Structure 1
Amino acid sequence: MNEKLQEAIELVNTGEVEKGLTIVKKLVKDADDEQKLQIAELYFKWGFLDEAKALFSKLLRLYPNEGLLYIYLAEIAIDQDQEEEAIQLLEKIKKDDPAYLQSLVLMADMFQMQGLDEAAEQKLLQAKKLAPNEAIIDLGLGQFYASIGEYNKAIPFFEKLIEVNAELENTNVNLLLAEAYVHTGRFEDALECYAEGLKEQIELNSLFNFGFVAYQLERYELAIAKWNEVKVLDPDYIPVYLYMAKAYEQIGSLKESYETAEEGLKHDPDYKELLVFAAKMAMKLEKHEKVEDYLKKAIAIDPGYIEALTLLGSYYLFHEEYDEVVSLYEQAIEMDEYDPQFEWDLAEAKKQLDRYKDALNHYESAYTSFKENIQFLRDFAYFLLELGDRKRAKEMFVRILELDPSNSDIEEELLRLEEW
C-alpha cells in the first residue's frame, strides 16, 4: 500500500479526519486503478458515500464485468434509500461472477427490509443451491428464518455452522443458536450454547439471557451468578436487578433480594416494577415504614399502575387504615383507573366504616369477577348475614360448597341457617 495512503488511514483512525482526507484527495489524481479501488473502499468504510460512489462508478465504466463494483454501488444505493437502483445494479452481475452469490444475499437482505419475506427466502435458497457448503449462505438462511420467527428452520443451519467449525467474522453462531433454542423451548441446549458462545465473546444481552434461561429452569444459583457478572460489567444494566432480586427470593434469601432491589433503585429510582417488588420484600421483612413509600412512588410514576394500587390498598386494609383505602381507590377511579379488586377492597373498608349501603354496592359489583373465589364468597356471605339477608348468604355458602365440597365450616353454617 502507498505510504501516503497508509499515513492518511492512520490520521483518520486517530481522529484527524480532515488531514487524512486531504492526503487521499491528492492521491486520487495520480492513482492507478488498483489504488483508486483501495481509496474507494476506504471512502465506503469511512462513510463518505458520495465520494466512494463517484470512484466506483468511474472504475465500473472501465471494468463493466467486475461484479464486486456492482456490489459496492448497490450497498451505497441501499444506504441512500435507493432500493430500485440497487436491484438494477445487482441484476447486472453475471451468474459466473464470483460476486454473484453475494448479490443474491444482498438482494435477500433488501427484500426482507421491504417486508418481501418470500422473495428474500427464494434468493437465499437459490444461493444455497449454487453453493451448498458456503458458510455465509447457511448463516444468511439461519438468520433469515430466525428473524421471521421460524426458529425450527433456523436451527439446522446454525448447528451445521458449528459442526463444521465455520469461521465467520463478527458472528457468534453459538449465541444465535442459543436464542433459537430458547424460542423452541430447548432450554438445556440453550444453556450449553450460551456457555460456549460467551467463551468466545462476552455480550451483555446474551449473558443476561443466559441467566434468564437458568432462572426458567429453576437453577436460581446459576442465574444469580450470571446476573452478578452482568452487574460487574455494567452496573447500569437495569433489568438485571429485578430478576436477580426474584431469584434470591426463590431460594429464600429475602435480605439479599431486598438489598438487590434497593441497589437497582439507586441506579434507576423510577423503575416502577422494581419499586413494587421492593415493597413486597419490605412487607416480608416487616420493614413497614418502607412499604408505603415504595408504592406511593410507583403510583406517582404511573397513576394507573394497578398492581401498585391494589398492593397499597391491601396494605392499608391489613393495617386497618380504612379511610386510606377509600381515598386511594376513589381517587384512582376519578382518574379513570379501575380494577375489580378495587370493589372488593372498598367493600371491606366501607363495611368497617359502617357504610353498609355503599359496601353492599361494592360487593355486588365485585361478585361477577370473584364468584369463583372462595374467600370473596365467604366475606360477602358473612356481610349479608350482618345485614340480615340470610337467603342470599345461604346462596353464597352453597356456592362455596360447590367449589369446595370438603369445606366443613361452611356445611356447619348452612346447617345453622336451616335451623333458624
Structure 2
Amino acid sequence: MSYSEQMLTKLQEDHDWTNAKKLFALALRHDDDDTLFNLGEQLYGLGFTPQAKRIFEKLLRDHPDEDELRTYLADIAVSAGDTDQALALLAAIPKDSPAYVQGLLASADVYQTMGIPEVSEQKLKEAKRLAPDEPVIDFALGELYFTLGRYEEALPEYQALLDQGIETMAEVLIGQRLAATLAGMGNYEEAIAEYQKLPREALDADTTYQLGVLYGETKQYQQAITTLTALQQSDPDYAPLYPALARAQAALNQLPDALATVRIGLGFDEFNSDLFKLGFNYATRLADEDQAVTFAKQELAQDPDDQDMILSLSNLYVKDGDDQANVDLLTAAAANHELDPQMYWNIAKSYERQEKMDQAKENYLLAYPSFRENTDFLLDLIRFFQSMAARPELLAALKQYLKLVPTDLDMQDLYDDLLDEP
C-alpha cells in the first residue's frame, strides 16, 4: 500500500491527523507522481488545501509542461483570495496546451469571482469556439447568463444540455434551472410545465416555493395554495412561503385565512416588512382596524421612513376620524421628509375637524398643486373656504371646479351668487 493510501486511511477511517501528517511527508518523498497527483486531488476535495497545494507545486516543479497542475493551483489561489496569483498561473498556459480550454474555464471563474463578468464571458466564448461540443462550457455560459439575469441567452445553453441527455451538472439539476430561466423571462406557463416534469425528489423547498409563486402569477390560486400549504407542512421554517400563500388566499377572498397566514409567518420572520403590509391590508378589508393599526405601527417601528405605510395608516386615521393620531403621525413624518401630496390633504382634513383653520388652510394649499384636477379635493376645498367665509379663495376654488364639472348647477349657482354679492 502506498504512503498516499495509508495517509487517506488515517484521515478518513482513523481520523488520526498526527500519523497522517507523517505519512504525507513520506508520500511526498517516496510515492510516484501519478499516486501523488491522485492524493492531491483527493486532499483538495476533502478540504486539505495546503497539503494539496504542496503536492501540485512539487509536481509542477518536476513537470513544468503539465498545465493541468496550474489550473488546480489557480483554484487554490482563488480559494485563498489571491486572484492575481491565480491569473498569473493561468496566463502561463500556452494556447497549444491540452489544458488551454480548461484554463479558459478557470479564468472565467476567476473573473466572475472578481466581479468582471464581461471578461468571464469572453473567456467562455473563446473556449466555446475551441471546444464547441464540450457540455461543461454550455453549462458555464448558462450559469453566467443566469446569474446576470440574461435569461434569453441562458435558455439555449441549458436546452443544449438537455438535448444531449445531460440532466445534472455540478450538482445543478438542469431542468430546474431551465424552469427558473423561463420564469425569469416571464414565460410562466412554460416554466410551470418544466417544474412539473421534475422528479418528486427534485422538488426541494426552493423549487416548491418557486412553483407556488408561479401558480399565483398565472392566477392559478388554488394550485398556489395547495403547493405552498404542502411546503408549509413539510418545512414551516421556510419564511418566504408565507407572503406568497397569503396573497393566493386573499386572491380567492379567503381573507381570514390570509390574515392567519400572515400571523403565522411573522412567528417565523418577525421583521418581514411584506407581511406587516399584507396584514394591514387584510385587517383593513376585514374591518379589524385595531389589528390594522397594530400591523402599521410594527412596520413603522422598524422602518420609520416607510412612506407607503405612513400614507396607508394616515388614510385609515382620516376614515376613522382619529384626527390627533393622524396629526401626530404626519407631523413626525414631515420632520424627516417632504410629505406626499395626499398627506397634506389628509392632515388638512384633521386640522379642519379640530377647528385649527390656519393649519388646515396651509395644508390644503400645499396639496392644491397636485390635486387641482381632482374634483373630490376641490369639493373639500370649496366646503372648507365656505365654512370660513373666505370669499376670494372660495371663488377661485369654484372657478377651478366648474372648469372640470361645468354641468354641476348647484356649484354654478353658488359661484354666480358670490359674484352678485356687493
TM-score range, shorter chain: 0.7 to 0.9
Alignment partner, residue 132 of structure 1: 132
Alignment partner, residue 171 of structure 1: 172
Letter in 2 for 1:161: L
TM-score normalised by structure 2 residue count? 0.87
Structure-2 separation of matches of 1:185 and 1:272: 25
What does 1:326-337 align with in structure 2 at a 5 Å threshold? 326-336=327-337
Letter in 2 for 1:240: L
Cα distance change of structure 1 residues 200 and 142 upon mapping to structure 2, 3 Å threshold: farther
Alignment partner, residue 393 of structure 1: 397
After superposition, the C-alpha distances for 1:111-148 in whole angstroms (9 at most, x for unaligned) are 23334444322321222122222111111122222333
Provide the secondary structure at the position in 2 that maps to 1:351.
helix
Structure-2 separation of matches of 1:31 and 1:377: 92
Pairwise CA distance, 1:31? 2.9
Alignment partner, residue 251 of structure 1: 252
Letter in 1 for 2:285: K
Cα distance change of structure 1 residues 6 and 54 upon mapping to structure 2, 3 Å threshold: closer
Letter in 2 for 1:301: Q
Cα distance change of structure 1 residues 81 and 169 upon mapping to structure 2, 3 Å threshold: closer
**Can you give the 5+ residue segments of structure 1 that lack an aligned partner in the other structure?**
none
Pairwise CA distance, 1:314? 2.1
Structure-1 separation of matches of 2:331 and 2:16: 63
Structure 1 stretch displaced more, 282-291 or 241-250:
282-291
Contact map agreement 2:318 2:346 (CA 8 A) in 1: yes
Cα distance change of structure 1 residues 116 and 6 upon mapping to structure 2, 3 Å threshold: closer
Structure-1 separation of matches of 2:132 and 2:409: 74
Contact map agreement 1:7 1:20 (CA 8 A) in 2: no
Contact map agreement 2:158 2:178 (CA 8 A) in 1: yes
Alignment partner, residue 380 of structure 2: 379
Task: Give me the CA root mean square deviation.
Answer: 2.7
Letter in 1 for 2:312: L
Cα distance change of structure 1 residues 354 and 68 upon mapping to structure 2, 3 Å threshold: same
What does 1:205-224 align with in structure 2 at a 5 Å threshold? 205-224=206-225
Contact map agreement 1:261 1:277 (CA 8 A) in 2: yes
Alignment partner, residue 145 of structure 1: 145
Contact map agreement 2:10 2:17 (CA 8 A) in 1: no
Structure-2 separation of matches of 1:337 and 1:228: 42
Pairwise CA distance, 1:41? 1.7
Alignment partner, residue 25 of structure 1: 24
Structure-2 separation of matches of 1:150 and 1:270: 32
Alignment partner, residue 227 of structure 1: 228
Contact map agreement 2:179 2:195 (CA 8 A) in 1: yes
Structure-2 separation of matches of 1:399 and 1:340: 22
What does 1:49-64 align with in structure 2 at a 5 Å threshold? 49-64=49-64
Pairwise CA distance, 1:62? 2.7
Structure-2 separation of matches of 1:24 and 1:188: 58
Cα distance change of structure 1 residues 50 and 279 upon mapping to structure 2, 3 Å threshold: same
Structure 1 stretch displaced more, 369-378 or 263-272:
369-378
Cα distance change of structure 1 residues 24 and 208 upon mapping to structure 2, 3 Å threshold: farther
What does 1:271-350 align with in structure 2 at a 5 Å threshold? 271-336=272-337, 338-350=339-351
Pairwise CA distance, 1:264? 0.9
After superposition, the C-alpha distances for 1:256-305 in whole angstroms (9 at most, x for unaligned) are 11110111112223323312321222222232332222222222222222
Among 393, 405, 415, the residue aligned to 1:417: 415
Cα distance change of structure 1 residues 399 and 307 upon mapping to structure 2, 3 Å threshold: farther
Cα distance change of structure 1 residues 372 and 273 upon mapping to structure 2, 3 Å threshold: farther
Contact map agreement 1:384 1:392 (CA 8 A) in 2: no
Structure-1 separation of matches of 2:63 and 2:236: 54
- Given the alignment of the two structures, is residue 120 of structure 1 paired with residue 133 of structure 2, yes or no? no
Provide the secondary structure at the position in 1 that maps to 2:172.
coil
% identity of equivalent residues: 28
After superposition, the C-alpha distances for 1:46-90 in whole angstroms (9 at most, x for unaligned) are 333222111111112333332322221111122223333323322
After superposition, the C-alpha distances for 1:301-344 in whole angstroms (9 at most, x for unaligned) are 22222233222222222222212221222133234473333211
Alignment partner, residue 83 of structure 2: 83
TM-score normalised by structure 1 residue count? 0.88
Alignment partner, residue 365 of structure 1: 366
**Can you give the 5+ residue segments of structure 2 that lack an aligned partner in the other structure?**
none
Alignment partner, residue 156 of structure 2: 156
Letter in 2 for 1:160: A
Pairwise CA distance, 1:415? 4.2
Letter in 1 for 2:67: G
Letter in 1 for 2:245: M
Contact map agreement 1:382 1:393 (CA 8 A) in 2: no
Structure 1 stretch displaced more, 55-64 or 387-396:
387-396
Pairwise CA distance, 1:26? 5.8
Pairwise CA distance, 1:387? 2.8
Pairwise CA distance, 1:200? 5.6
Cα distance change of structure 1 residues 353 and 116 upon mapping to structure 2, 3 Å threshold: closer
Structure-2 separation of matches of 1:80 and 1:363: 63
Structure-2 separation of matches of 1:240 and 1:25: 49
Letter in 1 for 2:415: L
Letter in 1 for 2:339: Y
Number of residue pairs matched by the alignment: 411
Pairwise CA distance, 1:345? 0.9
Alignment partner, residue 237 of structure 1: 238
Pairwise CA distance, 1:217? 1.7
